[in-house]
Amino acid sequence: MKNKLETINKLFEGKDIRVIWNSEKEEYYFSVVDVIMALTNSDRPRKYWSDLKGKLNNEGSELSDKIGQLKMKSSDGKSYLTDVLDTEGIFRLIQSIPSPRAEPFKLWLAKLGRERIDETFDASLAINRAIDIYRKKGYSDDWIEARLKGILKRKELTDVWQAGGINEGFEYGILTNEIYKTWSGMKANEYKKFKGITKESLRDSMNPIEVSLTDLSETVTKELAKKYKPQGLEANKKVAKAGGGVAKIAKEDIEKKLGEPIISKENTLDYDLIE
């Protein structure tokens, strides 16, 4: 299990923040004590956290309900149960810390909030932000154009699923896994693990053939669902498997002609996951 994310540590000016990735929930969990030490420079971070946790409990803060415990390796090399929060919880914790070191984070969060509000009035701002992010990651404009079209096609598929009585979120994931499992042999989270990525977009780390097969499988699934109008999860799973089956046939044909597998471990991480 990857338990330290280098870029997170950079946010805390190089301070050592222990992080654990939960692949089932697809979420990072941060050591609360480490974050408090980084932001307060306290020589007794556990005592600081104990007092703050008591204050939050007395105030009836919802943050108290989100605190969990996971085993994390300590400086003595042994693992101990440690209070942790997910990404949202850590940001809410930062807002509760009255420390000058926390102010830059609070300003940053306020700026993000303002940007999201602005985007509700002018959606093009969100699109421009996505383009800028992809450019900084080194993607070409042609790739970005194809990716944005792919996002729209994916939305068309989920709209069809919704019309078929599929609930957004968990059931979308089940159907997506049915598609991926059929053509690639891996569920989406297994595919991510194969490529060594976590919260990052799987499609952003695919090579051109992988992307094409994903597009093909989802397009066929959408067209079959539009034609046969399956209702409910089980009926839609059959259609998703059929769509993935078309891409599987194409994959096997391409691999036969190339004489090599087309699914690659290559990813586009711009940071290193380290133990």
**3-class state of residue 267 by DSSP:** coil
| Residue 42 belongs to a domain | yes
**3-class state of residue 60 by DSSP:** coil
Tell whether the model's pLDDT for residue 5 goes beyond 70: no
Same domain, 89 and 187: no
Domain count, the chain: 2
Same domain, 155 and 265: yes
Same domain, 20 and 107: yes
Whether the full predicted model's pTM is greater than 0.75, yes or no, is no
Same domain, 14 and 104: yes
| Residue 127 belongs to a domain | no
How far apart CA 131 and CA 103 sit, in angstroms, is: 29
Q: Give every CB contact of residue 260 below 8 A, 6+ residues apart in sequence.
A: none
pLDDT the model gives residue 7: 41
| Residue 275 belongs to a domain | no
* pLDDT > 70: percent of the chain: 92
Same domain, 113 and 72: yes
Same domain, 94 and 197: no
Tell whether the model's pLDDT for residue 272 goes beyond 70: no
| Residue 19 belongs to a domain | yes
Tell whether the model's pLDDT for residue 11 goes beyond 60: no
- Check if the beta carbon of residue 192 is closer than 8 Å to that of residue 202: yes
pLDDT the model gives residue 170: 87
Q: What is the mean pLDDT of residues 137-154?
A: 91
Same domain, 111 and 154: no
Range of the domain at 49: 4-118
| Residue 132 belongs to a domain | no
Q: Would you place residue 110 in the very low, low, confident or very high pLDDT band (cuts 50, 70, 90)?
A: confident
Average pLDDT, the chain: 86
pLDDT the model gives residue 3: 38
Same domain, 97 and 149: no
pLDDT digits (tens, 9 = 90+) for 234-266: 999 999 999 999 999 999 999 999 999 999 998
Nearest CA among 214, 157, 151 for reference residue 188? 214
- 20 or 155, higher pLDDT: 155
Same domain, 159 and 259: yes
How far apart CA 127 and CA 110 sit, in angstroms, is: 20
Half-sphere exposure of 141 (CA within 13 A, CB side): 1
pLDDT the model gives residue 13: 60
Can you give 71-133 as a three-state secondary structure string? EEECCCCCEEEEEEEEHHHHHHHHHHCCCHHHHHHHHHHHHHHHHHHHHHHCCHHHHHHHHHH
| Residue 41 belongs to a domain | yes
Q: What is the mean pLDDT of residues 125-150?
A: 91
Same domain, 95 and 174: no
Read off the amino acid at residue 63. L
Q: Would you place residue 10 in the very low, low, confident or very high pLDDT band (cuts 50, 70, 90)?
A: low
Same domain, 22 and 105: yes
pLDDT digits (tens, 9 = 90+) for 47-96: 999 988 888 888 888 888 888 898 888 888 888 899 999 888 888 888 88
pLDDT the model gives residue 42: 81
pLDDT the model gives residue 220: 97
Domain boundary among 118, 151, 168: 118
Domain boundary among 118, 151, 186: 118
pLDDT the model gives residue 182: 98
Q: Would you place residue 18 in the very low, low, confident or very high pLDDT band (cuts 50, 70, 90)?
A: confident
- Using only C-alpha atoms, what is the Rg of the chain? 22
| Residue 211 belongs to a domain | yes
pLDDT the model gives residue 187: 95
| Residue 208 belongs to a domain | yes
pLDDT the model gives residue 269: 61
Domain boundary among 118, 151, 183: 118
Same domain, 187 and 112: no
CA angle 32, 195, 245 (to 5 degrees): 125
